[in-house]
Chain A
Amino acid sequence: MTTEAAPPPGGADTRPASPGAEQFAAVQQSPEFGELRKAHRSFAFPLTVAFIAWYLLYVLLSNYAGGFMGAKVFGNINVALVLGLGQFATTFLIAWLYSRHAARALDPKAQALKSRLEAGE
């Protein structure tokens, strides 16, 4: 945080000594951090574009493809309902995929860098 927002003395927050600006700059330039950044962005960015596109496609189909959406799949269940439930399913799936990716590929890298910074190297 900046000097203007410096924590008041005696705050209830217990925090380790904050690393200095040079350390942050050094870590940001390090190959390990580059890997962490890439592991996050290469997973989160395309997936975000994908689920927003899929959601907007669904909104547009609802608006402009009434006939297709109204087609019966079985009983009184139509395509619109199946696709709507599909949005639920993909949301749950993406949340699970991201969490698995984060636990495997992000957390260990982040923890290693955090320990290094807080040890004051």
Chain B
Amino acid sequence: MTTPLAVGTLAVGASEHRPLIISLFGAFVVATLFITVWAGRQTRGAADFYAGGRQFTGFQNGLAISGDYMSAASFLGIAGAIALFGYDGFLYSIGFLVAWLVALLLVAEPLRNSGRYTMGDVLAYRMRQRPVRTAAGVSTIVVSIFYLLAQMAGAGVLVSLLLGITSDGGKVGIVALVGVLMIVYVTIGGMKGTTWVQMVKAVLLIAGALLLTLLVMWKFNFNVSELLGKAAENSGKGTSFLEPGLKYGKTAETKLDFVSLGLALVLGTAGLPHILIRFYTVPTAKAARKSVNWAIGIIGAFYLMTIALGFGAAALLDRADIIASNPAGNTAAPLLAQELGGGPDSTGGAILLAVISAVAFATILAVVAGLTLASSSSFAHDLYVNVIRRGKASETEEVRAARWATVVIGAVAIGLGALARDMNVAGLVALAFAVAASANLPTILYSLFWKRFTTTGALWSIYGGLISAVGLVLFSPVVSGKPTSMFKNVDFYWFPLENPGLISIPLAFLLGWLGTVLSKEPADPQKYAELEVRSLTGAGAH
């Protein structure tokens, strides 16, 4: 999710494989469009559009959460990072998984019990509605757009790479195609359609990863030590390939940056709006708990398989070939599939490459749809209905606003994705996690568990976290001053870390506390009684 998806230079796969890849992509698109239209026919009111009618089971939602969470960068990015940097790449897998415990122990059930459609429902529950809803809506949209931007840029780079499209016009076309598909999924299918698309994608991704894992392990007699030994030898780095530090251990600053990234990863997940709204698709808090447990199992199994994928690629492929195909290693998993199928010139290699590429494409589409739904829901429910219309919009008007918001956000994402197609998207996704951990998580936790928390505290924490996280990245080497920056030719950076989490997360917690202590209006004890009782018992839940 936060590994680099930089621009590649060489197309994977000979041109004769392209018809196969395109037909598999096409098959996935047609199948998901069928699901979308079918789901759209059953989508009537707001609860259907935002929450899929709240009728999914814990297992179904767990599968859908896994589909929403494991983005293309998780599959291709982590495999690539391990293939190039060995053990340091695996550290991503760990952070992404452990983060789920915050959601399980503290957030999922209370959120399900006390909210309706969006994260803002819970943040604004005890507070003055309009300012806090505005803050929650802005923060949801900012986090989702950063995440979306990264996925769109990755989609453009990756799909054009796999299909061998190298012209600028072709890449813009691919980004636009992904954007239009996602608008169709979300506007027609709503949460129900999107959830089914996530489930299909999760099954495909797990099956694809499992197939590659079994093929790799079979080559090494199911002996992990043998696999690691060959990977270390083939990487040219020796045993240091299996130890921490190859990527982050260079200087004191990169080490600090790693701590910052680690903090953002573990605290970011429970503040990601597109993950939080998934808890509303099940009927009860108990089902929400079950869905997180399933997600932990599925995501954990997947991240364990990244060991075989990443070290397998390092052991079986030529390092120079991986880098030549994509400097950030993002095509390592498809290349590994090609190798396991029998090599570049074999039919088996072509088929396996096509299958794994289609899985990657499905992954991107599904994640992008989930993100768009989260931001358009928040726009319609938090900003349009509760702020602009002061709660006086009809349900039909609300859903119509959500659909229009989807089209606008989709168009914005296409525009930004087309502009950002040559950017390194690592900073963008890590920023999405850091912003979520700074702007959203402190207020969620304070709202649920701290009686004295006030509107002023919430506003200070949300805006303070949002502005400090985004601001620090603006003045970090992600944006300017280094060869890997977005703007290579200017230099206005003064903040040394790429990830702002180490500063912005504690700051947002501090501001929430400070704003509360200095607040002129005290917290409303009755509202807290209502929220606390509802969040723990589920009484009066929607």
Contacts and interface: CB of A to CB of B under 8 A. Distances in A.
Interface in B246-276: 248-249, 255, 258-259, 262-263, 266
B44 to A, nearest CB: 6
Contacts of B106: 44, 48
Contact of A110 (B395, B526, B537): B537
A114 B98 contact: no
Contact of B539 (A19, A63, A88): A19
Interface in A95-121: 95-96, 98-99, 102, 106-107, 110-111, 113-114, 117-118
A39 B262 CA distance: 30
A24 B534 contact: yes
A84 B90 contact: yes
Interface stretch (B224-232, B343-351, B468-476): B224-232
Contacts, number: 208
B391 interface: yes
A28 B105 contact: no
B339 interface: no
Interface footprint category on B:
35 or more
A91 B248 contact: no
A75 B229 contact: yes
Contact of A58 (B44, B94, B104): B94
A98 to B, nearest CB: 6
B484 interface: no
A63 B286 contact: no
Interface string B520-542: 00000110011011101111111
Contact of A76 (B105, B228, B244, B258): B228
A16 interface: yes
Interface string A1-18: 111111110111101101
A59 B258 contact: yes
B102 A48 contact: yes
B369 interface: no
Nearest to B529: A28
A21 B529 CA distance: 8
Interface in A16-39: 16, 18-19, 21, 24-25, 27-28, 33, 36-37
A21 B530 contact: yes
Contact of B243 (A7, A80, A88, A98): A80
A12 B48 contact: yes
B129 interface: yes
Contacts of A28: 529, 532-533
Contacts of B224: 77
Contacts of A118: 539-540
A10 B395 contact: yes
A36 B537 contact: yes
Given A16-B540, A70-B239, A76 B529 contact: no
Nearest to B54: A13
Interface stretch (B198-206, B292-300, B486-494): B292-300
B10 interface: no
Contact of A56 (B44, B262, B304, B540): B262
B489 to A, nearest CB: 33
Nearest to A85: B304
Contact of B538 (A21, A41, A110): A110
A106 B286 CA distance: 10
Nearest to B53: A12
Given A37-B536, A66-B243, A80-B244, A15 B394 contact: no
Contacts of A81: 87, 90, 228, 242
Interface string A71-83: 0001111101100
Contact of B46 (A8, A75, A91): A8
B40 to A, nearest CB: 15
B102 to A, nearest CB: 7
A34 to B, nearest CB: 11
B533 A24 contact: yes
Contact of A62 (B91, B394, B532): B91
Most buried by B among A12, A19, A33, A60: A12
A73 B153 CA distance: 41
Nearest to A2: B129
Given A11-B45, A12-B48, A95 B296 contact: yes
Contacts of A84: 87, 90-91, 94
B530 A24 contact: yes
A8 B537 contact: no
B297 A5 contact: no
A8 B394 contact: yes
A36 B259 contact: no
A12 B47 contact: yes
A34 B262 CA distance: 35
A94 B293 CA distance: 10
Contacts of B87: 80-81, 84
B91 A114 contact: no
B286 A88 contact: no
B526 A25 contact: yes
Given A8-B46, A88-B94, A76 B293 contact: no
6 contacts: A48-B102, A59-B259, A62-B244, A76-B228, A91-B101, A99-B289
Interface of B: 44-48, 53-54, 87, 90-91, 94-95, 97-98, 100-102, 104-106, 109, 116, 121, 124-125, 129-130, 224-226, 228-229, 232, 239-240, 242-245, 248-249, 255, 258-259, 262-263, 266, 285-286, 289, 292-293, 296-297, 300, 303-304, 386, 390-391, 393-395, 398, 449, 525-526, 529-530, 532-534, 536-542
Given A37-B532, A55-B266, 14 more contacts: A4-B386, A4-B390, A12-B48, A51-B101, A55-B94, A56-B263, A63-B244, A69-B243, A76-B239, A77-B225, A78-B239, A88-B303, A92-B297, A95-B296
